[in-house]
């Protein structure tokens, strides 16, 4: 099955890669090798931080190679490090990244739900509807949803004006 969208939740230890479509979710997990939080000792030469695990980011890039649109999420700087790695080492994958968002530690279900909403909004804004969505929108047999105006749908209590 080919998936149109992928979402990655990444930190320095592991990446959850979810390939999503309207009905299905496939998951891959990429683990970092070694201890991702190792820092150099005080007084050592260099910037004082361990170098990024390029093989880890390359593994994530390999998992994303077939995705057409990608959203990268995560709690810290790893999402930006992944994007920079993609720009430098895998520019074809980097061109398909649509956004970077901060996300704490969602479950895979929460991540998939957020990604579906994200891509649905993006598709509507750009007019880039998959064939199934176009058929759903153009189906004359379905009743159309109507929305109430903000004023009538409001749940606020009426304001009291003294006379």
The answer as to whether 161 is a domain residue is no
The answer as to whether 141 is a domain residue is no
- Of 21-25, 128-132, 141-145, the range with the highest mean pLDDT is 21-25
The answer as to whether 119 is a domain residue is yes
Tens of pLDDT, residue by residue over 66-122, are 999 999 999 989 999 999 999 999 999 999 999 999 999 999 999 999 999 999 888
Instruction: Please report, in angstroms and rounded to a whole number, the separation of the first and last CA atoms in the chain.
Output: 68
As beta bridge partners, residue 31 has 14
CATH number for the domain that contains residue 105: 3.30.420.60
The answer as to whether 30 is a domain residue is yes
- Which residue range(s) make up the domain with 125? 5-34+52-132
Total domain count, the chain: 1
Q: Name every residue whose Cβ is closer than 8 Å to that of residue 96 and which is 6 or more positions away in sequence.
A: 64, 67, 68, 69, 70
The answer as to whether 68 is a domain residue is yes
């Amino acid at each position: 099955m080919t998936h149109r969208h992928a979402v990655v939740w990444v930190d320095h230890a592991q990446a959850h890669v979810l390939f999503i479509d309207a009905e299905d979710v496939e998951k891959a997990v990429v683990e970092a090798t070694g201890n991702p939080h190792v820092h150099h000792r005080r007084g050592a030469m260099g910037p004082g931080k361990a170098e990024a695990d390029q093989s880890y980011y390359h593994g994530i890039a390999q998992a994303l190679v077939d995705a057409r649109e990608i959203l990268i999420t995560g709690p810290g700087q790893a999402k930006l490090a992944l994007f920079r790695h993609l720009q430098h080492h895998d520019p074809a994958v980097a061109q398909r990244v649509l956004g970077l968002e901060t996300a704490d530690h969602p479950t895979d279900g929460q991540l998939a739900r957020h990604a579906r909403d994200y891509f649905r909004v993006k598709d509507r804004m750009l007019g880039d509807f998959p064939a199934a969505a176009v058929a759903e929108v153009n189906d004359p047999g379905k009743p159309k949803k109507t929305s109430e105006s903000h004023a009538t749908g409001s749940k606020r209590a009426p304001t009291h004006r003294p006379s």
